[in-house]
Amino acid sequence: MSESGARSTVSNSQFIDHQLATNELAAYYVPPTEVIKPSIVSYKATTSDHYPIFSRFNFGSAAQTRSVRLTAPNGGETLQAGKTFSITWTSSNVAQVDLTYTLDGTVWRSLASGLAASSGRYTWTVPSESSTSAKVRVADSSRTDVSDVSDGVFTLTRPVPQVFINEYLPQPNPAVPGGTTPDYDQQFVEIYNAGPTSVDLSDWTIHDAKTYSGLEAARHTFVPGTVLPAGKGYVVYSGASAVPAGAQYATYANNNGYGLRLDRGINQGGAGDAVYLVRADGTVQDSHSYQVPGVDVYQGYSFNRSPDLSATGNWSYTNPTPRTRTDGSPF
């Protein structure tokens, strides 16, 4: 409308009453958009300085011509890492479909794109990830509003991971006694290698909920050549001031000074957060979340595996012990 020279108000010669539509809504738009100038005497004084703007959308039969329906996995299945599983669907008047999946119902990741809808099947090699809340979504490649999701959650299983998150501190104490602002440099994530061999961490990343969703870059990326020996832990601190002088297997978040930026707990008036350890191929090695009510955060206390150094251990609260076992002894 602006490019056509139309005006949307009595007083302003430019078009200022723009309408915004999502990609999904835009698919139903029927041009043109029109400016209605009512035949009302002294319109500006008696009614409004702005003219009505009308756009049309067709939600009738044309909107119902396409459909997709996911038929598997549809809830209750248990899929094992490394095995194959046939994702199946039915469709009507759809040329291509995209497949995505989620581990937690929040973040969706690409599984396959541009598949022939008529095939109705895709052989998925199950990733080495663990979840009891996984779902798959199938969507029209050209119309994301034409989609379907697993009716219920399914389970992804894998062998016990060799490298995992052992401890992390979301809310440090203040830098000085009596202070009120946490010393955020002291936030840390500790990972541990419980396996018999060294693991190359090159290009592995650490995320919080925001960066894992793709809104920002990873909180930390392990530089090429980073190797974690068997039986050792590696600590990533939020800021440089927290890294002990001469410490081996310790560094600070290399994201241009932003740090780990773990949010406060829900019990502290925050939104909660999560920590993800992600392999170089983009799959999740390990994670823990305090984004649900009841998983509280306490200033000055870490989340730690219980038993300590156990990939299958539950999470408990402890005084922070980065770079050591919970009893203070070295790895």
User: Cα 27 to the chain's mean position, in Å?
Assistant: 27
185 within 8 A of 237, measured Cβ to Cβ: yes
* Shared domain check, 70 and 60: no
Do 267 and 303 belong to one domain? yes
Q: Can you tell me the distance from the alpha carbon of 135 to that of 127, in angstroms, rounded to the nearest whole number? A: 13
pLDDT greater than 90 at residue 6: no
Angle at 236 between CA 215 and CA 273, to 5 degrees: 40
Q: Which residue has the tokens 């248990």?
A: 78
pLDDT single digits (tens) 293-309 = 999 999 999 999 999 99
Total number of domains constituting the chain: 3
**Do 169 and 310 reside in the same domain of the chain?**
yes
Residue-range definition of the domain harbouring residue 29: 1-64
Query: What DSSP string describes 230-252?
Result: TT-EEEEESSGGGSPTT-SSEEE
pLDDT for res 63: 54
Residue 27 pLDDT greater than 80, yes or no: no
Q: What is the pLDDT of residue 94?
A: 94
| Judgement on whether residues 184 and 224 belong to the same structural domain of the protein | yes
Extract the tokens encoding 262.
Answer: 């773990």
Q: Give per-residue pLDDT as tens, 272-291.
A: 999 999 999 999 999 999 99
* 3-state SS class at 24: helix
- Same domain for 71 and 53: no
CATH number for the domain including 95? 2.60.40.10
Domain assignment present for 26: yes
Q: What is the pLDDT of residue 64?
A: 57
- The string of DSSP letters for 132-196 reads EEEEEEEEETTEEEEEEE-SS-EEEE-PPPSEEEEEEESSPPBSSTT--SB-GGG-EEEEEE-SS
Residues 77, 58 within the same domain: no
d(CA 99, CA 85): 14
72 has a pLDDT exceeding 90 = yes
Q: Which of 64, 89, 106 is the last residue of a domain?
A: 64
The whole-angstrom separation of Cα 7 and Cα 20 is 17
